[in-house]
Amino acid sequence: MRTEGLSYTPPLELLKRVRLFVLQTRWHGDLMARLWEGLCAEVHRLGFPMERVHRIEVAGSFELVHAAGAIARHYTWKRGFAQVVSVQGPTQIQSNLRLPPLFQGNFESRLRSEFLLESPGPISYFQPYEPGPADELPAILALGCILKGATEHNQYLAHAVFHQLSALNLTSGVPVILGVLTPDTLKQAWERVPQVADWVQVAFLAWEGRLRLQALWDSQGEPSA
Query: pLDDT, tens digit, for every residue of 144-189?
Result: 999 999 999 999 999 999 999 999 999 999 999 999 999 999 999 9
The 10 Å Cβ neighbour count of residue 75 is: 19
Query: pLDDT, tens digit, for every residue of 23-79?
Result: 999 999 999 999 999 999 999 999 999 999 999 999 999 999 999 999 999 999 876
Rg (alpha carbons) of the chain, rounded to whole number: 27
Query: pLDDT, tens digit, for every residue of 68-108?
Result: 999 999 999 876 555 555 555 554 545 555 555 555 555 55
What topology is assigned to 12-77+137-220 in CATH? Rossmann fold (3.40.50)
Q: Whole-angstrom Cα distance, residue 45 to residue 61?
A: 28
Query: pLDDT, tens digit, for every residue of 127-150?
Result: 999 999 999 999 999 999 999 999
Mean pLDDT for the chain overall: 87
Q: What is the reported pLDDT for 209?
A: 96
Q: What is the reported pLDDT for 5?
A: 81
| Torsion angles phi and psi, residue 50, rounded to 5 | -65, -20
The closest of 141, 144, 140 to 28, measured between CA atoms, is: 144
216 pLDDT exceeds 70? yes
Query: What b/e string do you get for 21-59 counting C-beta neighbours within 10 Å, with b at 16 or more?
Result: bbbbbebbeebbebbbebbbebbeebebeeebbeeeebe
Q: What is the reported pLDDT for 125?
A: 76
Would you place residue 4 in the very low, low, confident or very high pLDDT band (cuts 50, 70, 90)? confident
19 pLDDT exceeds 70? yes
Please indicate whether residue 131 or residue 124 has the higher confidence score (pLDDT).
131
